[in-house]
Amino acid sequence: MNILEIIEKKTKGEELTKEELNYAIMGYVNDEIPDYQMSSFLMAVYLKGMTDKETIDLTDIMLHSGKVLDFGFDSIDKHSTGGVGDKTTIVLAPLMAALDVKMLKMSGRGLGHTGGTIDKLEAISGFQTNISLEEVQKQVEDIGVAIVSQMGGLCPADKKLYALRDVTGTVASIPLIASSIMSKKLASGASKIIIDLKVGNGALMTNLEDAKELARIMVNIGHLNGKETICVLTNMDEPLGNAIGNSLEVLEAIDTLKGNGPKDLNELVINLGSLMLSLDKNMPIEEAIEYVENALEKGLGYEKLVEMVAYQHGDIDNIPVSSKKFDIKAYQSGYIKSINALKLGELARKLGAGRFAKDDVIDQTVGFVLHKKVGDKVLKDEVLITVYYNEKDLPLSDIFDCFEYSDEEISKPTLIYEIIKKENL
Ligand code: URA
pLDDT digits (tens, 9 = 90+) for 70-81: 877 777 889 999
* N- to C-terminal Cα separation, the chain: 37
Cβ of 155 less than 6 Å from ligand 1: no
Q: Where in the chain is the domain with CATH 1.20.970.10?
A: 3-49
Cβ of 81 less than 6 Å from ligand 1: yes
Cβ of 175 less than 6 Å from ligand 1: no
Cβ of 42 less than 6 Å from ligand 1: no
Residue 15: count other Cβ atoms within 10 Å of its Cβ: 12
SS3 call for 266 = helix
Query: CB of 289 within 8 A of CB of 274?
Result: yes
Residue with CA at minimum distance from ligand 1 atom 8: 81
How far from chain centre, in Å, is Cα 115?
8
pLDDT at residue 57, rounded to an integer: 98
Choosing from 120, 159, 160, 165, the catalytic residue is: 165
Give pLDDT tens digits for 8-45: 999 999 999 999 999 999 999 999 999 999 999 999 99
CATH of domain 325-406: 3.90.1170.30
Cβ of 116 less than 6 Å from ligand 1: no
Residue 278's H or E segment, with its range, is: helix 263-281
The ligand 1 atom at the shortest distance from the C-alpha of residue 171 is 6
Choosing from 78, 105, 109, 184, the catalytic residue is: 184
**3-49 maps to CATH 3.30.70.980:** no
CA torsion sign for 105, 108, 110, 111 is negative
Cβ of 336 less than 6 Å from ligand 1: no
Residue with CA at minimum distance from ligand 1 atom 3: 181
Q: CA-CA distances (angstroms) from residue 326 to 383, 396, 406?
A: 10, 10, 25
Ligand 1 centre distance from Cα of residue 158 (Å): 9
Of 162, 255, 246, nearest to 204 by C-alpha is 162
Residue with CA at minimum distance from ligand 1 atom 1: 81
pLDDT lower than 50: segments of the chain: none
pLDDT at residue 134, rounded to an integer: 86
Of 52, 56, 39, 48, nearest to 14 by C-alpha is 48
Residue with CA at minimum distance from ligand 1 atom 2: 181
Ligand 1 centre distance from Cα of residue 130 (Å): 20
pLDDT at residue 352, rounded to an integer: 92
Ligand 1 centre distance from Cα of residue 172 (Å): 9
Is 165 a known active-site residue? yes
What are the residues facing 106 on neighbouring strands? 148
Task: Say which residues have a Cβ less than 8 Å from residue 43's Cβ, sequence separation at least 6.
Answer: 168, 169, 170
Choosing from 10, 78, 79, 109, the catalytic residue is: 79
Of 75, 89, 69, nearest to 279 by C-alpha is 75
Cβ of 89 less than 6 Å from ligand 1: no
Is 180 a known active-site residue? yes
Instruction: State the pTM of this model.
Output: 0.93
Ligand 1 centre distance from Cα of residue 180 (Å): 6
Q: Where in the chain is the domain with CATH 3.90.1170.30?
A: 325-406
Of 159, 117, 60, 152, nearest to 308 by C-alpha is 117
CATH of domain 76-317+416-424: 3.40.1030.10
Q: Where in the chain is the domain with CATH 3.40.1030.10?
A: 76-317+416-424
Cβ of 246 less than 6 Å from ligand 1: no
Give the C-alpha separation, 152 to 149, whole Å. Answer: 9
Ligand 1 centre distance from Cα of residue 81 (Å): 6
Give the C-alpha separation, 333 to 372, whole Å. Answer: 12
Cβ of 181 less than 6 Å from ligand 1: yes
Give the C-alpha separation, 214 to 59, whole Å. Answer: 13
Choosing from 180, 183, 247, 278, the catalytic residue is: 180
